[in-house]
C-alpha cells in the first residue's frame, strides 16, 4: 500500500526549491544586513510569502492544462 500520492517532476522541483529557499532565507547571517531600512531576513520572508503560493498555483495550473 502506498502512503502518499504521486508527485510529478514539476511539483517535486517546486517543493525542493521552496524548502531550499526557506533554509537559505533563515540563515543567521541575514539578521544583521539591512536593505532599505529593513533587515534582509524580512525581505526574504516577504519574498517567500509571495513566491510560495504563486509558484504552487502556477505549477498546478500548468499541470491542469496538460
Phi/psi of residue 30, each to 5°? Answer: -75, -10
Give the mean pLDDT per block of 10 residues along the chain (66 residues): 75 90 88 86 91 90 79
- How many Å apart are CA 49 and CA 60, to the nearest integer? 17
- How many Å apart are CA 66 and CA 59, to the nearest integer? 11
Angle at 20 between CA 29 and CA 46, to 5 degrees: 65
> What region, left, alpha or beta, does residue 27 occupy, with left being phi > 0 and alpha being psi -120 to 50 degrees?
beta
What's residue 1's pLDDT? Answer: 54
Amino acid at each position: 500500500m502506498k502512503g502518499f500520492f504521486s508527485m510529478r517532476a514539476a511539483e517535486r522541483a517546486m517543493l525542493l526549491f521552496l524548502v531550499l529557499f526557506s533554509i537559505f532565507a533563515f540563515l543567521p547571517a541575514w539578521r544583521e544586513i539591512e536593505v532599505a531600512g529593513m533587515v534582509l531576513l524580512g525581505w526574504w520572508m516577504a519574498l517567500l510569502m509571495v513566491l510560495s503560493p504563486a509558484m504552487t498555483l502556477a505549477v498546478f495550473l500548468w499541470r491542469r492544462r496538460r
